[in-house]
Amino acid sequence: MSALTPDGDLRRTHRLLGGAGIVARFGVVTAMTFLGLLAITFFIGRVVPIDPVVAVVGDRASQEVYDATFLEMGLDRPLIQQFAIYVRDVVTGDFGMSLSTGRPVMEDLIRYFPATFEMATFGILIGVVLGVPMGVVAAAHAGSWLDQIIRVLGLLGYAVPAFWMGLVALAVFYAGLGWSAGPGRLDIFYDGLVPTVTGILTVDAILAGDWVILRNALSHLVLPSAILGFFSLAYIARMTRSFMLEQLQQEFVTTARVKGASERAVIWKHAFYPIRVQLITVIGLSYAVLLEGSVMVEIVFSWPGIGNYLTTALLTADMNAVLGATILIGAVFIVINRTSDVLYHIFDPRSH
């Protein structure tokens, strides 16, 4: 076994310290950003014209009950102490009770978020699998009819409202052609037959080995996730095309062509390889947007996700549920954004 040289030890130590620094920065920046999110939601909870005590005890409670709850909630204390209590409660998972469901908000979030996660994950997979090749093809054939078609599809992804597309998809593929299942996550006679392990219905069906329910769940999932995938596809394809056009104009691509490299190798090896780092950020942001912006799709498809839950909470002035869902969505966005930054650093050769 060969002994490590001093230079080898130094490089290894440098890599370890660099990795530890990335992890430390990730933790500090994430914590500070999350603290800022809590400060914003705390401020919103104090300025909205809704009495937090009445939201808990109801408008028919006696003055004694109102006063006792007021003190119990710490609303008689200075704002800085109230914020400290608020942060403590959030960190420990205490978002209070939901007026809409009568359950703890944390329990509701655990119940509803997996449905949104499932739909958004399938949507981003569709967006990546189709959007990246479409962007590459559009750039490789810039100005052609194929490029124009892909660009028009991208514009439609920005211009067409999600609720309208959802209604049309239901009318055509469910009511008209019968190619897919209707609203909801599962046909009602299958509901409750699969034990809830992860809350992600397709995964739970696989874990239970119930392929009938898996097929049924996928038939319900395909339309809403395809619509979300279309919107993410539009963004990913447009950004991929833009990155590829810039790379195809670089000198190293021209050099590869002069040396006799095939057009396929020029496009996918020489031009596409450098943009993979930029695409990490694009895909991460697109995924975060799907997780937080699927409200209209969930409403149209009666999808029991966090967007539907948040909409119901807003309509019923359920501030505990509104703030809890807002914090969860903001936390997910922060984590995905920071993870994308870390992956960008890891895969970007210029950062080493």
- 14 or 61: which carries more pLDDT confidence? 61
Stretch among 15-24, 70-79, 217-226 having the lowest mean pLDDT: 15-24
Q: What is the 3-state secondary structure (H, E, C) of the chain?
A: CCCCCHHHHHHHHHHHHHHHHHHHHHHHHHHHHHHHHHHHHHHHHHHCCCCHHHHHHCCCCCHHHHHHHHHHCCCCCCHHHHHHHHHHHHHCCCCCECCCCCCEHHHHHHHHHHHHHHHHHHHHHHHHHHHHHHHHHHHHCCCCHHHHHHHHHHHHHHHCCHHHHHHHHHHHHHHHCCCCCCCCCCCHHHCCCCCCCCCCHHHHHHHHCCHHHHHHHHHHHHHHHHHHHHHHHHHHHHHHHHHHHHHHCCHHHHHHHHCCCCHHHHHHHHHHHHHHHHHHHHHHHHHHHHHHCCHHHHHHCCCCCHHHHHHHHHHCCCHHHHHHHHHHHHHHHHHHHHHHHHHHHHHCHHHC
> 248 and 304 share a domain?
yes
Evaluate whether residue 236 is within a structural domain. Answer: yes
Distance CA 277, CA 240 (A): 11
Domain finish residue from 91, 126, 147: 91
> 185 and 215 share a domain?
yes
Which residue range is the domain that position 28 belongs to? 17-91
pLDDT per position as a tens digit, 68-102 = 877 776 677 777 887 888 888 888 888 887 877 87
227 neighbors 166 (Cβ within 8 angstroms) = yes
Work out the number of other CB atoms within 10 angstroms of the CB of residue 210. Answer: 17
Evaluate whether residue 211 is within a structural domain. Answer: yes
Total structural domains in the chain?
2
Domain finish residue from 91, 120, 135: 91
Placement of tokens 């019923």 in the chain = 316
Evaluate whether residue 11 is within a structural domain. Answer: no
Distance CA 269, CA 248 (A): 11
> 146 and 79 share a domain?
no
pLDDT bracket for residue 1 (50, 70, 90): very low
> 202 and 57 share a domain?
no
CATH code at position 160: 1.10.3720.10
Evaluate whether residue 5 is within a structural domain. Answer: no
pLDDT per position as a tens digit, 274-295 = 888 888 888 888 888 888 767 8
> 201 and 304 share a domain?
yes
> 283 and 137 share a domain?
yes
pLDDT per position as a tens digit, 147-204 = 888 888 888 877 788 888 888 888 888 888 888 888 888 888 887 788 888 888 889 8
> 61 and 193 share a domain?
no
> 264 and 196 share a domain?
yes
Evaluate whether residue 6 is within a structural domain. Answer: no
Evaluate whether residue 3 is within a structural domain. Answer: no
Distance CA 291, CA 286 (A): 9
Q: With pLDDT > 90 as the criterion, what percentage of the chain qualifies?
A: 10
Domain finish residue from 64, 91, 118: 91
pLDDT of residue 177: 83
> 238 and 121 share a domain?
yes
> 297 and 198 share a domain?
yes
pLDDT per position as a tens digit, 139-162 = 888 888 888 888 888 888 777 888
> 235 and 273 share a domain?
yes
Evaluate whether residue 12 is within a structural domain. Answer: no
260 neighbors 318 (Cβ within 8 angstroms) = no
Distance CA 268, CA 50 (A): 56
> 30 and 133 share a domain?
no
228 neighbors 294 (Cβ within 8 angstroms) = yes
Evaluate whether residue 266 is within a structural domain. Answer: yes
